[in-house]
């Protein structure tokens, strides 16, 4: 199951977050129904680069999930913190646009999948 979860996460991070953010522009913002703020590109482009790195990392780890259990733990941390950030934003602002609700749901689903696919710790011998 971990292999499939890692591949799904890689696709999400590369196609759903990484590429659109890395190549963010006014047409991309319009495509997603977002306000285009040129001054935000200094944050959005590096975010896209980071998401591309996560995507590649998840893809590499999918080849041998047992060997890359730390990557699964980092995926859990990434999606847990992502979920928390959307909740904090929701509480702070009182609402978030549908676009961000989609991201929140994706993060929650991936968090649950990563938790479910996390390898169990080896039982210590007596």
Q: Does residue 36 form part of some domain?
A: yes
Residue 10 has pLDDT above 60, yes or no: yes
What is the arithmetic mean of pLDDT over 1-19?
95
Q: Which residue has the tokens 């989609």?
A: 102
Q: Is residue 125 part of a domain?
A: no
Give dist(CA 57, CA 65) in Å, integer.
11
Q: Total domain count for the chain?
A: 1
Confidence of residue 111 (pLDDT cuts 50, 70, 90): very high
Question: What DSSP string describes 38-86?
Answer: GGGHHHHHHHHHHHHHHHHHHHHHTT-TTTTHHHHHHHHHHHHHHHHHH
Residue 6 sits in which domain range? 2-117
Confirm whether 81 is domain-assigned.
yes
Of residues 78, 56, 49, 77, the one with CA closest to residue 7? 56
Q: What is the mean pLDDT of residues 45-72?
A: 95
In a domain? residue 124: no
Residues 6+ apart with CB under 8 A from 122: none
Q: Classify residue 18: in a domain, yes or no.
A: yes
- State the pLDDT at residue 121: 56
Q: Does 112 fall in a domain?
A: yes
Q: How far apart are CA 122 and CA 4, in angstroms?
A: 22
With respect to residue 103, please indicate whether it lies within any of the assigned structural domains: yes
């Amino acid at each position: 199951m971990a292999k499939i979860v890692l591949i799904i996460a890689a696709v999400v991070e590369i196609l759903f977050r990484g590429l659109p953010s890395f190549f963010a522009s006014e047409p991309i913002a319009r495509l997603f129904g977002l306000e285009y703020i040129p001054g935000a590109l200094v944050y959005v482009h590096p975010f896209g680069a980071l998401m591309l790195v996560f995507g590649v990392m998840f893809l590499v780890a999918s080849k041998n999930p047992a060997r890359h259990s730390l990557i699964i733990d980092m995926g859990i941390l990434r999606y847990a913190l992502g979920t928390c950030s959307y909740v904090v934003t929701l509480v702070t602002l009182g609402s978030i646009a549908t676009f961000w609700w989609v991201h929140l749901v994706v993060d929650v689903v991936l968090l649950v999948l990563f938790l479910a696919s996390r390898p169990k710790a080896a039982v210590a011998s007596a």
